[in-house]
Amino acid sequence: MPPVLNTRVIFKSIPQGYPVPGQTLAADHSQKIDLDNVSLAGGKILAKTLSISIDPYLRGKMNGTEKMSFEIGHPHAVAKVIRSENPKFKVGDHIYGIMDWAEYQIFENVPELRILPPNSGIPWSVFPGKTAYYAWQEVAQGKEGETIYVSTAAGAVGSVVVQLAKQAGLKVIASAGHESKLQFLRDLGADVVFNYKTESMENVLKDHEPIDIYWDHVGGKTTSTVLMHMNTFGRVVVIGQISTYNVAEADAVSNFPQILFRRLTVRGLGVIDHEAKHGDEFYATIPGMIARGELKYNETIVRSLDEAPQLFLDVQKGDNSGKAVIVLADD
């Protein structure tokens, strides 16, 4: 078999404000790979990428604000092993981990890859979805009768949190920035749904305070507003800060003393910190719930890396619905 095209997405320049498709990220068609003969010496594996998750936090890596440098990409992705010189991985295994934006890739650091369970009954694009589950278990610790407010609730993480909270018996307040997303949140069972762009967050929260848990994807002015309506000993789960990613000077949290006055617990969560503790539990629980229809999901899917730069911009502007994912192959 002759060498095949290995399309990639490359990071070309640090954006000033929102990323610009073609200038910040661009598809590259210059690389080919010989799938039959490329060397895998030293225990390497060769895999075909199936799906790539485009998450808001990747924008922070472009600014150098994340722990890892951005370089060529490093999103979370699912791939299928097509050749292996490592006894841990066999041809046909589906693997999940931090990968490049590329159709084919060779892995050397295989300990960081997880073999996904076969026959899960859900599309590979749905994996992994760990952020919501880990943070719910580790930080939120919601109790029946409490009230949670989930910002950007129609996204990949927020939509799962809404459902986990309802299943645990909490009152759920959920917001989104597009009218088209509000019905999705109602379908998930959210008790109070509002468009934060057209309705007063201050008034909504005042009507339903005190808030026991704030699930924060936004930061800035939104967090400042929510802190004023938190219950004593409430929890703030910090997952993202989308309001800060694409601006030169982000709004700071203006009423930080409320954390003291209300004795709040504020904690950020990184998935990698809880993989050892909750990983096996997650894979034994969540895929089955999705397959049985106990957890609903929504996806915005594109099917080529040429469309990735625009999808990345859509995620930053909130123009996608649910999880944004590049699906290069179904299996």
pLDDT digits (tens, 9 = 90+) for 132-168: 999 999 999 999 999 999 999 999 999 999 999 999 9
| DSSP sequence for 56-69 | TTHHHHHTT-SSS-
What is the bridge-based pairing of β-strands 4-5 and 147-150? Answer: unpaired
Rounded CA gap, 44 and 83, in Å?
A: 9
For 194-223, the three-class secondary structure string (H helix, E strand, C coil) is EECCCCCHHHHHHHHCCEEEEEECCCHHHH
pLDDT digits (tens, 9 = 90+) for 298-318: 999 999 999 999 999 999 999
For helices 179-188 and 156-167, angle between their N-to-C axes, nearest 10 degrees: 30
pLDDT at 67 over 50: no
Q: What is the CATH number of domain 130-271?
A: 3.40.50.720
Locate 317 and state its tokens: 């502007």
Long-range (24+ apart) CB contacts under 8 A made by 298-304 are 298/154, 298/159, 298/184, 298/322, 298/323, 299/125, 299/126, 299/323, 299/324, 299/325, 300/324, 300/325, 301/125, 301/325, 301/326, 301/327, 302/326, 302/327, 303/327, 303/328, 304/7, 304/27, 304/328
Domain spanning 4-116+299-327, CATH class: alpha beta
- The residue ranges of every structural domain in the chain are 4-116+299-327, 130-271
Helix extents (H) in 151-292 = 156-167, 179-188, 201-208, 220-227, 242-245, 257-261, 275-291
- The answer to whether 139 touches 279, Cβ cutoff 8 Å, is no
pLDDT digits (tens, 9 = 90+) for 197-255: 999 999 999 999 999 999 999 999 999 999 999 999 999 999 998 888 888 887 888 89
Q: Say what the pLDDT of residue 70 is.
A: 43
Q: Say what the pLDDT of residue 298 is.
A: 93
Locate 305 and state its tokens: 């890396």
Work out the number of other CB atoms within 10 angstroms of the CB of residue 145.
10
Report the predicted TM-score, pTM, of the whole model to 2 decimal places.
0.90
Locate 231 and state its tokens: 């219950």
Instruction: Kindly state the helix (H) or strand (E) to which residue 316 belongs, with its residue range.
Output: helix 308-317
Residue 194's beta-bridge partner residues? 175
